[in-house]
Structure 1
Amino acid sequence: MNEHGSFTLEVIHQTLVVKCFDAWNTETVTRLCKEYKEHAQQISDKPWGCLVDMSCWELSTPDMWEKIDELNEWGNQNNQKFEVVICSLSIQRSLMESSHEVLTNVETQFCEDIAQAYEWLASVGVYKK
């Protein structure tokens, strides 16, 4: 099956920036998890943060969350210390809060916009303005 939905990944300082677009299927999530780890390994020698921008995301198939839980467990074991999430829908925040229960070593923050997210990441030392 072809991927539905898309994302971009970019490493800035000690932060992995993930921007999510449209509605996702399993194929999109599988590729995200693979590429996320590849990008994060560039900065995982020191504590790092992740910014997840879901402001243009339209949810996904339910089977995605098992893969995201595994990815969060990987972050726990690979020096991730911070995650900030931008949500445009309350259901997104609810789903992300549930998935973050496995982030035992990661401090999580929810923000309303990208400026607020970068401000928080700068305050914890993984992003430079």
Structure 2
Amino acid sequence: MKNTTGIVRHRALVRRVASAAAVAAVVVGGLAVGAGSASAKSAIDIGVRSHSVAVGQSVQVTATGNSDDFGPTPIRLCIDERSGSGAWRQLGCAPAGTFSLDAKAQQRGELQLRAQLFGIFGPHHAVLDRTSGAVDVRVH
């Protein structure tokens, strides 16, 4: 009589390992799909028509931005400026999308411009989502 218990045990072990590997693959695949669909999308950009202007001239500034980080909450896109190392000052805001305005160069030196996206939760409650990098304009 032939001893088959070793072969039977080996086959059972192989089946269990294969089943565990299949379950692990399904779980990892499900996590990868779930992580991709749960990520929010947010983008912001700012540009200027000219990087050098004379004092008293205006430079056209265009910002684009949108976000779904706050779900259905309205999003506001704002453009800020600062001269030299001074404080940032808000020039204007509009609903998310594309927004353009003219910024007047008041003094010689460096004029910096940036865009910001805010989620609007009430008349006096805005939450910053993201800020663009600053764009420099030389004022001569």
- Using structure 2 for the length normalisation, give the TM-score: 0.21
The structure with more strand, counted as a fraction of residues:
2
The structure with more helix, counted as a fraction of residues:
1
Larger Rg: 2
